[in-house]
A and B are shown apart, each in its own frame.
Chain A
Amino acid sequence: MLKSLIHSKTGLLGALILVFIVFLALTANLISPHNPFEQDIVHKLLNPVWTAGHDAKYFLGTDQLGRDVLSRLIYGSRVTLMVAFSGTVVAGIVGVILGCISGYYGGRIDAIVMRIADIQLSFPFILLALFIAAVLGSGLGNVVLIAGLCCWVQYARMVRGEVLSIKEIEYVEAVRALGGSNMRIIFVHILPNIASTIIVIATLQMARIVLMEASLSFLGLGVPIEIPTWGRMLAESRVNIVSYPWHAVFPGVLITLTVLGVNLLGDWMRDYFDPNLDV
């Protein structure tokens, strides 16, 4: 598998980008030149070293509270990745479970779950996310929850399809309670088949989640405002954008880069596991 990845120019690029971002997140406290929370009001609103109005101490400049931009960018990767991974896990778990239940029990439960799925698909998620954020408030946990809620549908549909096809093979009596050998058979049969598809779905969903977290942070509804996150940095940069345009450039570049990496890797994965996948 690794060989195929190396041969694919785009897949390799995506993987390298992601490795870079993960590296930033993991070594943030080691490689950041400054403390991202530390405010240095005297040196606020500095530009990057290659423009006028800079200070060599702060390589990419400082924001309106005098915090080092470079360090905040590096630490921002942590939030992005954390939300991306946990959101994906939540979405995956919810989706797989709902898909199993829906496919296994069929009937009214299936109809209801699939109806909800259809409704949710036709509704741009940002609105539901806003509504939930408004009600529940901001915070990392809520963002992860929202991310999970936004993306469970694809998993559910796929798993449900697999369960239905297994049901066709063996005659399964309608079982009222969970447990019993039928449930186990289904898991034994299904899991190997869907593992690769789940990975592909997860990778492509991650791109959505990264963008969604950035959007929520931009609107002020994401994680608490002291925690550095790229979306938030972009929002804060708008105030002084006419005089200090550079502060708006870097966070956006990083978001784009991360999403690009995830998409490239996801596309490669889909082609590797099954080019005919309807994802």
Chain B
Amino acid sequence: MAAYIWRRLVQSIFVLLGITIVVFCVLHLSGDPVQLLVPPSASQADVEQIRQEMGFNDPLYQQYFRFLKGAVQGDFGKSFYYNEPALKVVLDRVPATTELAVVAMIISLVIAIPAGIISAIKRNTVLDMLIRFFALLGQCVPSFWFGIMLILLFAVNLHLTPTGGRSGFASVILPAITLGMFSAASITRILRSNMIEIMGMEYITVAKAKGLTRFSVIMKHAFKNALSSILTMIGMQFAALLGGAVIVETVFAWPGVGRLIVQSITNNDFMVVEATVVLLAMTFVFINFVVDILYGVINPRVRMR
């Protein structure tokens, strides 16, 4: 097991490095990164001075290492818009996004796991059809529109929740549902198909032949296998949630990292954008790492290899 963890750790570090390279390259893709980094009101002389000061005339690899060094030390420069270190601006908003993502994931799983299992067990019944229909629909509806409709219904018409902002449980429920919807739909569909495949496996027939009750067969034998098959997917969904948060936070004016990145792009506050992307990348790599480890815990074959 220890060897497995070590291997995954090394891989994660490589991926992280890869991402920093990508971020760095994209920054230089535009041709003149300095233009992006200075306030629009700067004069040509200012631009040249900043270019020299910030070392943009240095060879690329030197710039990259400086960037890397800064990233490791937590120094991403200063945000123009907020006049604070870029990293601090981002970290201040992490709790809000975390709250949103966690609640969304919980809602998503609470809906998807029973739905997927029931849909598979009661295959081809009306209940199955309904679940499949809504699961498909959940993947087709754009999240920003769904959020807007929810606001219209529950906030504007029914006055049950605030229309936006972060203020307590009532304020997180709508954004969390919006954010979790796509994940719930995806997980339901995949869980259903995995469950059907598992129920057809011979060890399930054997379990029945042993005299286990239908409930035991499903919950003890089928369910654990189904869960392990979607565990990686759940991890990926959690990562995807962080991406979806960009849109949902914008719709609900939720003060999180996603909204920050959109605003910073509009404000040309590039240091913040850079800091956010790197931090988010680290989060994803971490999530994937945790998922890999969990998978090794559940599936003995993987960790013993």
Interfacial residues, chain A to chain B (CB-CB below 8 A): 115-116, 118-119, 121-127, 130-136, 207, 211, 214-215, 218-221, 231, 234, 237-238, 241-242, 245, 248-249, 251-252, 255-256, 259-260, 263-264
Query: Which single member of B251, B261, B281 contacts A130 (CB below 8 Å)?
Result: B261
Whether the pair A134, B141 counts as a contact (CB closer than 8 A) is: no
Query: Which single member of A131, A214, A237, A241 contacts B142 (CB below 8 Å)?
Result: A214
Query: Which single member of A115, A118, A248, A256 contacts B148 (CB below 8 Å)?
Result: A248
Whether the pair A130, B244 counts as a contact (CB closer than 8 A) is: no
Can you list 24 A-B contacts with CB-CB less than 8 angstroms, sorted by A residue number?
Answer: A119-B19, A123-B19, A123-B243, A124-B242, A126-B243, A127-B243, A127-B277, A134-B273, A135-B27, A207-B139, A207-B140, A211-B142, A215-B142, A215-B144, A219-B262, A234-B142, A238-B251, A241-B151, A241-B152, A245-B152, A252-B149, A255-B145, A256-B137, A259-B142
**A215 to B26, alpha carbons, bound, how many Å?**
21
Which residues of B have CB within 8 Å of A133?
265
Q: How far is the CB of B81 from chain A (nearest CB, A)?
A: 14
Which residues of B have CB within 8 Å of A115?
14-15, 18
Contact with A along B243-254 (1 / 0, CB 8 A): 110110011000
Query: Which single member of B14, B36, B244 contacts A126 (CB below 8 Å)?
Result: B244
Whether the pair A219, B27 counts as a contact (CB closer than 8 A) is: no
- Other CB < 8 Å A-B pairs besides A136-B30, A251-B145, A259-B139, 14 of them? A115-B18, A122-B15, A124-B243, A125-B243, A132-B26, A136-B29, A218-B247, A234-B148, A241-B152, A245-B152, A248-B145, A248-B149, A256-B140, A263-B139
**A90 to B156, alpha carbons, bound, how many Å?**
42
Whether the pair B265, A130 counts as a contact (CB closer than 8 A) is: yes
- In the complex, the chain A residue whose C-beta lies closest to that of B265 is A134
Q: Please report the number of residue pairs spanning A and B whose Cβ atoms sit closer than 8 angstroms.
A: 125
Q: A131-B273, A245-B152, A259-B140 are in contact. Are A124 and B240 (CB under 8 A)?
A: yes
- Size category of the B interface is 35 or more
**A227 to B28, alpha carbons, bound, how many Å?**
29
Whether the pair B148, A124 counts as a contact (CB closer than 8 A) is: no
Which residues of B have CB within 8 Å of A237?
148
Q: How far is the CB of B188 from chain A (nearest CB, A)?
A: 14
Which residues of B have CB within 8 Å of A135?
26-27, 29-30, 36
Per DSSP, chain B at the interface is helix
**A207 to B142, alpha carbons, bound, how many Å?**
11
Which residues of A have CB within 8 Å of B26?
131-132, 135
Which residues of B have CB within 8 Å of A263?
136, 139-140
B112 at interface by CB-CB < 8 Å: no
Which residues of A have CB within 8 Å of B83?
none
**A255 to B137, alpha carbons, bound, how many Å?**
12
Restricting to B3-60, which residues have a CB under 8 Å from any CB of A? 14-15, 18-19, 22-23, 26-27, 29-30, 36
Q: How far is the CB of B294 from chain A (nearest CB, A)?
A: 15
- In the complex, the chain A residue whose C-beta lies closest to that of B285 is A122
B266 at interface by CB-CB < 8 Å: yes
Whether the pair A245, B27 counts as a contact (CB closer than 8 A) is: no
Query: Which single member of A131, A136, A218 contacts B277 (CB below 8 Å)?
Result: A131
Q: A119-B19, A136-B30 are in contact. Are A256 and B262 (CB under 8 A)?
A: no
